Amino acid sequence: MTIDVEVLSEAYSILKQYIPQKDRQEAADNIMSIMVDYLDDSELKEFGRTDSALGRAFKEYAGDVDDDYDQDYDE
């Protein structure tokens, strides 16, 4: 099963209306942590463009990937 990023972004945009503003970053972080198992990096980046909270969640994920790569390379 493939997940269409456009459908995922639209669903997220609808659902975030029901999440209080103060909880949206945590919600975005949680959804991004789930999506890393289902989307490739380019799709995650596209999904991260949905809104600023998802953008920050993607940057945090991408930073972790770069850090892991740097540690593996140094060893």
Tens of pLDDT, residues 5-62: 999 999 999 999 999 999 999 999 999 999 999 999 999 999 999 999 999 999 999 8
pLDDT, residue 58, reads 97
pLDDT, residue 1, reads 57
pLDDT, residue 3, reads 80
The DSSP string of 24-53 is HHHHHHHHHHHHTTTS-HHHHHHHHTT-HH
Instruction: Give the closest residue to 32 by CA, choosing from 11, 13, 55, 3.
Output: 55
Supply 19's token pair: 């999440």
pLDDT, residue 65, reads 61
Could you tell me which residue, 2 or 54, shows the higher pLDDT?
A: 54
